[in-house]
Structures are given as C-alpha cells and as structure tokens.
Chain A
Amino acid sequence: MSFRKRNIGLSTGGDRTASVNASAGLQQATSTAAAAAAPETTPGVRPSPDDGRPTTSTGTPSLDNILAGHGGLPIGKTLLVEENGTTDFAGALLRYYAAEGVVQDHRVHVVGMPEQWGRSLPGLIGPADAVDDKQDKRKGERMKIAWRYERLGEFGAGIAGSRATSGDQSQPTADGSPDKRPAFCHAFDLTKRLTHPSITNLNYIPLTPSKEPLFTTIHKRLDAAIASSPPNTVHRIVIPSLLNPTIYPFESSQPDSVLPFLHSLRALLNTPGVRATAMITIPLSLFPRASGLVRWMELISDGVIELCPFPHSADALATSGAATSHEEPPQGMLKTHRLPVLHERGGGSDQNVGQDWAFTLSRRRFEIKPFSLPPAEGDKEGQDGAVSGNMPKKADLEF
C-alpha cells in the first residue's frame, strides 16, 4: 500500500517538477515579457498593468477595476463572492462572468446548475462601451474642469484611480485596447438573452449522486475537462451558490468535504500551464462569515468580496441619495476582504483597500463605486459633488 502510494507520488513528482522547472525557467520572464506576449494569442486575456501577469475580465468592468490594480481577475485565481440576505446580486455577477467567458471563447464550466442557467445569460451589447465611454469622457473633461476637482473626481470614481501608482502607464493599454485588440470586457443586458455560437460550449457539471463523494466527482470532471482541452484554452469555473442546501446535499457542508474540494480547486488553478479562473458564490445567510468554516473557505480563496444588499424598503435612501443625481440609488454595500495577489503578497499599498463600496445593478451593468452617504437634503450642489460618479455625466450634459 504504502509502496504503491509512494511510487505514484514520486513518479509524478518527477514529472511535475520537470514541468515546474520548465516553467521556472521560462516563466521567470513570464511576469514581464511572456505575459505581454501571451494575451495576443488569446482573446480576453491581457497583462495586468500592475505586474504584467495575465488577467481576464470578470465581465463587470467596475469589478475588474477594484481588483487591486490588475484590471481583472488574474489567471489562476479564485474569487469568492459572498452575499447576505436572499437577493441574488452575486448571481448576476456570476452571469456576467460566464457571459464574458462565452463571448471570449473561453471554456466555461458551470457546477451544479442545469442548462437553463446557461440560457439565461445576459445578452451582449458590445464591447464594454459603458466603461470606455466613461473614461473617454473623463479624458475630454480634463480640459474643462479645474485641476484639483478633476483629480478629486478621478480619485472618487475609483476606476482610473484603482491603478494607483502605475495608473498612467496602464491607461493607454486599457483605453487603447478596443482599437488594437478585441475587447477585454463586454457589456451585457440582463433583460436579453445571450446568443453566441459558443454558448453551446458551456460545460455543465451536474451534482449527481454517485458512490464517490460529491466534490471528488466534481473535481475529477473539472480536471478531466481542463486536461482534455487544447492547451491554450482559458477556462472559467463558475460555482453558483456553493453549499446551498437546495442544490448541494447537506453533508457537503462538512469541512472535510468542502475544504479539500476548494483546496484541490486551488491546486488545479495553480497547476502550471492551466489557464483558468474561478468564481464562487456562497449564501452568507446560511453560512455566516463568523463561522470557522466560511473563514477557511475565504482563506483558501484568492479574493473575497462580500455583498451586503440594502433592505428593499430603503426608500428613504433611494429618494435622498439619488433623486437629484442621474444615477440609480445604490442597492447595497460591497466589501473587499481580500484581493487576489495583493493580499497574498502582504496587503496594503492599494488605495482601494479600506474603501467603502456601493453597488448598483441596473439592466445594463453591475456598477461598483465608492460609497458615500448623501449630504443633507437640499444641499444640491454638495450632493452633486459627493456622488462622484455623477461628475462626468453632468459635465456631459452641460457642455
């Protein structure tokens, strides 16, 4: 028994390390040079403006922008989206993520959802003009508004500002990308249905009971699907509502069941040569953050985002907060507990850390912007200033 185990371990160890070396040698340059070259070949992957590692879009431009300056989800990273309450904002984020994958011809693996889920992906509007428009406008605006206000607006918006130090270098690539390369991120319409030739390519991994533990089966199928696809494929793993007892059997919430799965998933994504990202959502009402299990799930994930929707009857906020601005009222708060790469390195140094975020889900986009309580009623001017996302639009209207 032990001999056999050992033998397996050793031989594959040999293999793997050979390949590790290969990558060790080759990928030494990856972070700078190779990464820059790689995305040319694959749509939907671009080097991070921060350190050049390949990143891919989450399908939500403003979510891409808060991911520690990488402008997207770095390849090989997992993002855990937690949601309080019974709303399904996280589901919308997942749909954008999946739809973006479909549009970019990435291989999308959906765990535990029927095929209807894939059919309900939001329809494509086009390259993320929403964001690009906005950035262009801001550029034009630089002429018009005084320097200190312009700076203020940029900081507040958090979109351009998220690139912190390397912001200026990153912007040409970000803005220039639509011209030179296929779009990195697209805009989708939640009320429409996505029709795309590759939508049939979605790989559904159902939760069928079998002799094996459920998560072992899922992992094996994911592994097989990734291993059997052409090497350069970019994969997206979508795991909606993990551990939700209406989908998952109750024993799956045992730590010795779900944590090994997440660990293996992490291992899979970290396998050299595998180019995949994963987005997982989990209902916090059933599995509160204060529990050790959820904390471990967070510790295994690379990025952790918590959505705290406002109660539905928040009319007061709705009227006071956004009546004057042309924005929709924020529908909830978004907290970033951990950001990919940044926190693994030690944290800090990102200006978005500690920022309060609010999110708004509209028909056309899921927008994340800095949260600020609206000023007192009647202070219209101050209010316009405070809702900073408002600035470009307002300017746009007036000039």
Chain B
Amino acid sequence: MPTQPPLPPLLAPYVSSLPPSSLIVLSTVLGAQGNWLTLRYLYAALNASLTSDAALSFGEGHNRKKQKVVLVSFLRGWEFWRAEAKRLGLDLARLTDKRQFAFVDGLSELFAGPRTTPTPSTPQTTTQTTPPSLAPSPRGGPVPQRTILPNRSAPSPIPARGPAVAAPAPFAPVAPSAPPAAPASREVGPVKRLHLSGKGPAALDRLEKDIAAVVGHLNGRAAASAEGEDDSEVLLVLDQPDLLLAATGPGKEIGATEMTEWVMGLQQYVHATVMTLAADLPLIHNASAAGHQMPTPLETEHAAFAIGSAHRAHLVMQLRDLDTGAARDVSGVLRVSKGGAWGQSDNTDANGNWEEKEALYFVQRDGGVNVFGRGE
C-alpha cells in the first residue's frame, strides 16, 4: 500500500481552517474510533503553523493565523497521543515546548486523584535524573518526590538492577532526537491533570477553570513573545467529554444541559472546538425508541447531550462501521453532515465551503489513512 499523505485530500477541507467559534462534533462508535481523525485535526492546525513562516513569506497565508491546540483527553493518556502523533510526524513534546500545543490529561486523575502511595522505587535513579527536570517547574510549588517514578523507573533501573544486557539501547536512539532533560523540563507547565471533585455544575466549573488556565497559558505566552503573534487561534480538542457525563450522571447532578453549558463555556475561550462523542446505538436510540423499555438515565442524558451537541455543531463528522460488516481494506464509513448551527452566520466565508459527503476510510498499519469514495 503506498504511503498516504498525512491529510487525505478528501478530508482536507473539513479539518483545516475552521470557522471562528465553530463546533465540530466527531461522533464515533465502539468499532470505529475517531482518534485518527482527531489527530488529523491536530495535524492540520499544528503542521500549518510549523510551515506558516514559509507561507507568510510567499504572501499566501496572509489570512492564516498561527494555530495552537489544546487537547483535553478523557480516555487516552499522553503516551498514546504522543506516540500516534509521532507517526504523523508531529512532535507533540516539542510543540508543547514551543507553546503551540498543550495536553490536558483527563484520564490519570479524573476520579481517583493523585496516587499518594509512596513508591519505594529506586531512590538513586531519582536523584540522578529527575532534579533537573523538576527544578524549573513553574507552578510546581513544593514538589514531593514521590509519584514520579514508576515511569522513570521503567527504563532507568535497568543499570541499577543489572540483569539487562541491552540496557543502553533505549537511551541511544533518544539522544539525537531530543536532548532528554532540557525540553522535557519546560513541558511541565501545560500538562495539566484534571480532577473531578464535588458535585454538579460547581465540579464542572472547576474543570473549566483548569482548562481555561491552560488555554490562557498558551495565549498569554504568545502575546508576550517577541514575535508579537497575539492573534493566534487556539483550537480546543475535547476527546470524549461524554465520559464525564456517563460517569457522573444525575446522581452527581450533572446532566446533558450542564455538560452542554460546560462545553459552551470552554468554547468561549477558543477559536474553534472539536469534540468527539460516542454515538453507539444503545447510547443514542435506547432513549428514543418508545415502548421497548424504560431508558436508563445514562442513555437519556447521553442521547440528549450528543444530539444536542449535533444541533449546536457546524459540522458533524460521523464515523461508523461498514454497514456490510467488517472488511480487510476498509476501516469504516465517514459521513460528513452539516450540523444544526450551520448557516447561522450570513457570512459564507464563516460557514466554510463544506459539502456533505459520505466516504470510506482505511487506517493502515503505519498510521496512514486513506479516505475514498465508495467504489473507488
């Protein structure tokens, strides 16, 4: 299979240059996850900004502002996104370092809180490697030396414990790509971990504040920078915020309306928002199918949130399994539809030149994606 361009041409109009204050809903199902598409949004925003200097000099990108991305992920950790973005040629760690990207971790401590149990892991490696990375931590405050090390220790205790023969191997390839300590240390700031505490809208407000702080951090930095690019646009990517709703629900006084208002609140801070949602049959249709049985609150709230979001969206990208069953060379179907908010603005430019479309896609093993029409 030939390697695909990072942005399939058929997809390009929908992922790049999103209209201001727009909401893109990306609906997925169990068997057709949208991470590849989320990554395309990251790519379209960040890669363009990588080359924007060149574009500016040619006078071509005069209306292309510098784009920054805040990714809030509720189901996937930093490691996943970093590794997958790498396959697209995006170095998220470096972009974080350049204040073009910020990752907000909604997975690690959302419900459980920080791991407070001390790890008796390898004190000597701690002293070796971590102080340089911790010292410049801008907001760290008193940094307890505890929770760090499970992950450091994965590679580092190897020399300490001895049995490994191939110990130096992991270090070798790293060195050329990035000097390990220095850029890493500056990354500390924006990687924010969300923690949900309390009940109801107040709990959501706290999350909103945390995310807004990260957005503000990106923006503020840009304004302060010597390049004077204070007109940068921030793209907010919310990866499965519906988890929050599912895992809290009416018992915690969080419902579809509260979630919608939370998302609206976040939208106000940024240029455009991309949100992935689950649109599985049980989550959408159990609530509406009259008569078959009482829908559970989870289903009702989820359906209300998902459908309500589609009403608010300018564009709805729907991923689903192939209707005819799985195939080896097709991963799923992508249907692009205009959402309920499309056409609210009279400005045709703001509406984007989107055309509704249905296409098949195939995610290759190397991470490349092929998007093609039926029968092509």
Q: A residues touching B (Cβ–Cβ < 8 Å)?
A: 2, 5, 7-34, 36-38, 40-41, 50, 165, 219, 223-224, 227-228, 230-232, 254-256, 259-261, 263-264, 266-268, 270-275, 289-296, 298-300, 304, 337-338, 343-351, 353-354
Contact check, A18 vs B75: say whether CB atoms are below 8 A apart.
Answer: no
The residue from B82, B114, B147, B363 contacting A24, defined by CB atoms under 8 A apart: B82
- Contact among B36, B117, B154 for A228, CB-based, below 8 A: B117
Q: Considering only CB atoms, which chain B residue lies closest to A289 in the complex?
A: B282
State the B residues within 8 Å of A (CB). 30-36, 75-80, 82-84, 86, 93, 105, 107-115, 117-122, 129-130, 133-134, 137, 139-158, 161, 163-167, 169-174, 177-178, 180, 183-185, 187-188, 191-195, 197, 206, 210, 240, 243, 246-249, 251-252, 278, 280-283, 286, 295-299, 302, 325-332, 361-365, 367, 369
Using Cβ atoms and an 8 Å threshold, which residues of chain A touch B363? 345-349
Q: List residues of chain A with CB within 8 A of the CB of B129.
A: 22
> Inside 8 A of A255's CB, which chain B residues have their CB?
246-247, 249, 251, 296-298
Given known contacts A273-B150, A344-B80, A348-B330, A231 and B122 CB-to-CB distance under 8 angstroms: yes
Point out the residue from B93, B169, B188, B367 that lies within 8 Å of A33, measured CB to CB. B169
Do B170 and A292 touch (CB < 8 A)? no
Closest residue of chain B to A10 (Cβ to Cβ) is B139
Distance, CA A20 to CA B119, complexed state (A): 16
B134: chain A residues within 8 A (beta carbon): 14-15, 18
Contact partners of B172 in chain A: CB under 8 A: 29, 33
How distant is the Cα of A298 from the Cα of B77 in the complex, in angstroms? 17
10 new A-B contacts at CB < 8 Å, known A263-B75, A292-B282, A344-B35: A9-B194, A12-B144, A23-B151, A223-B115, A232-B157, A259-B246, A263-B107, A270-B107, A299-B280, A349-B362
Which of B30, B146, B173, B362 sits near A28, CB closer than 8 Å? B173
Would you give the shortest CB distance from B171 to chain A, in whole angstroms?
7
B332: chain A residues at CB < 8 Å are: 346-348
In the complex, what distance in Å separates the CA atom of A271 from the CA atom of B107?
10
Measured between alpha carbons, how far is A224 from B10 in the docked complex, in Å?
49
A249 to B21, CA, bound (A): 46
**Complexed CA–CA distance, A189 and B107 (Å):** 39
| A26-B171, A223-B115, A346-B331 as given contacts; A274 in contact with B150, CB under 8 Å | yes
What 3 pairs across the A-B complex have the smallest Cβ distances?
A272-B151, A354-B326, A348-B331
Min CB gap B134→A, angstroms? 5
Per the bound structure, the CA–CA distance linking A296 and B143 in Å amounts to 36
Known: A293-B296, A295-B282, A345-B363. A9 touches B331 (CB 8 A): no
Q: Which residues on A sit within 8 Å (CB–CB) of B278?
A: 295-296, 299
Query: In the complex, are the beta carbons of A34 and B169 less than 8 A apart?
Result: yes
Q: Which of the residues A267, A304, A353 comes within 8 Å of B112, measured between beta carbons? A: A267
CB pair B150 A343 closer than 8 Å: no
Secondary structure class of chain A's binding surface, majority of residues: helix
Which B residues touch A230, using CB under 8 A? 121
Chain A residues whose C-beta falls within 8 Å of the C-beta of B328 in the assembled complex: 348-351, 353-354
Q: How far is the CA of A40 from the CA of B251 in the complex (A)?
A: 48
The chain A residue with its CB closest to the CB of B97 is A21
Contact A11/B141 with A17-B191, A231-B153, A346-B331 known, Cβ cut-off 8 Å: yes
Chain A residues, Cβ within 8 Å of B210: 9
Q: Most chain-B Cβ atoms within 10 A of its Cβ — which of A10, A27, A261?
A: A10
CB of B291 to closest CB in A, whole Å: 15
Complex CA gap A317/B67 in Å reads 61
B169, A266: Cβ atoms under 8 Å? no
| Bound: A267/B73 CA distance, A | 12
Partner of A292, one of B191, B192, B197, B299: B299
Give every chain B residue within 8 A of A18 (Cβ-Cβ): 130, 133-134, 137, 148, 184-185, 188
Cα A254 to Cα B246 with chains together (Å): 10
The answer to whether A22 touches B195, judged by C-beta atoms less than 8 angstroms apart, is no
A8–B192 CA distance with the chains assembled, in angstroms: 11
B93 touches A11 (CB 8 A): no
Complex contact A292–B154 (CB within 8 A): no
Q: Is A263's CB under 8 angstroms from B296's CB?
A: no
Q: Can you list 6 A-B contacts with CB-CB less than 8 angstroms, sorted by A residue number?
A: A18-B133, A18-B188, A26-B170, A36-B169, A345-B33, A348-B326
